[in-house]
Chains A and B, each alone.
Chain A
Amino acid sequence: MQKKIIFRVDDRLIHGQVIEGWIKYYKISHIYIVNDRIYGDVLQELIYNSVLPDYCNLEIFNKKTFRTFFSGEIFDNHTLVLFENIKDLYDLRDLITEKIYINIGCVASREHKIEITDTVFLDLEELRKLSELREKYNIYIKKLPWDTNIEIKNFYTFLKEMK
């Protein structure tokens, strides 16, 4: 992968697939969690820090602080930015550039959601948001780096059917 920055939506944030898959595969050295809920939560930060390999540096932001940080930051190393849900990614869509690899990894199943893969379940609003982002950028739906990508262009068919 040419791109050094990955924006991943994963409602489990840091867990087995991220550690054994993405971090090792791309030799990720910097991880940023963007989440208003756990920002400032010392215990959560401790838990996530304790499970990362030594070469990985973690910082936790809320959306506001990440916007300021990311705008001025130059990334030389492989970096993984984790969002808990599609709304958070969409809210910060103005930060996305062609240099960023967008990955949808885990979005839990709930009522009124469509199963896209075994780990990604989307409702109508999430489909709309992703379809809009897809107009400008490639979006890769897969839980692990070596999985086959699900093509998001097909989502327009879903959207038409759900109307």
Chain B
Amino acid sequence: MIEYIIITHGSLALELLKTCEMIIGKQDRVYIITVQTGASLQNIADELDKIIENSKENGIIIFTDMFGGSPSNIAMSYLKNEDVEVITGVNLPMLIKAFALRQESESISEISKSCAEAGKSSIRIAKELLGHAKKNHI
């Protein structure tokens, strides 16, 4: 099974996982790294090294909160590793999709594409939906 790491600013990663588990139940083979204010990036990189070295599974997907932020920048340093992919902009629908997909697929690239799609397509401006409905009705 593909393993997941969620790494974010503050405690967002932990809360995202807890909320995800509230919806789809307890998950295993998922690691949380929180980057707190004042934290040393070297310590974060050491933590990532340890998880990636100990991974005996079929690869790792690292979810980060914001493209351009420190968690994302550190994670992207591992892209030289063929078994590692990084997806930025993690949100709840993306994570739910990720946990569901790894039961069915062992392809990092397939899962990554679907996760990115799920994350993007879940973002809607609600009034626009209302506008569409009205237009169609008329």
Same complex origin of A and B = yes
Interface residues of A (CB under 8 A from B): 11-16, 19, 43-44, 47-48, 51, 108-110, 115, 118-119, 121
The total of interchain contacts (Cβ-Cβ below 8 angstroms) comes to 46
The residues in B between 47 and 77 inclusive whose CB is less than 8 angstroms from any CB of A are: 66-70, 72-73, 76-77
Q: Assuming the A-B contacts A43-B77, A44-B77, A48-B73, are A16 and B9 also in contact, with contact meaning beta carbons closer than 8 angstroms in the complex? A: yes
Interface residues of B (CB under 8 A from A): 9, 37-42, 66-70, 72-73, 76-77, 79-80
Q: Assuming the A-B contacts A15-B68, A51-B67, are A108 and B39 also in contact, with contact meaning beta carbons closer than 8 angstroms in the complex? A: yes
Instruction: Find the residue from A15, A19, A43 having the highest chain B CB count within 10 A.
Output: A15
Smallest CB-CB separation from A20: which chain B residue? B68
Q: Assuming the A-B contacts A43-B77, A44-B77, A47-B77, are A12 and B38 also in contact, with contact meaning beta carbons closer than 8 angstroms in the complex? A: no
- Cβ-defined partner of B37 (8 Å) among A13, A19, A119: A119
Find out whether the CB atom of B38 lies under 8 angstroms from the CB atom of A15: no
Closest 8 CB pairs of A and B: A51-B68, A108-B40, A109-B38, A15-B70, A16-B69, A12-B70, A47-B76, A118-B37
Q: Assuming the A-B contacts A19-B68, A43-B80, A51-B67, are A110 and B40 also in contact, with contact meaning beta carbons closer than 8 angstroms in the complex? A: yes
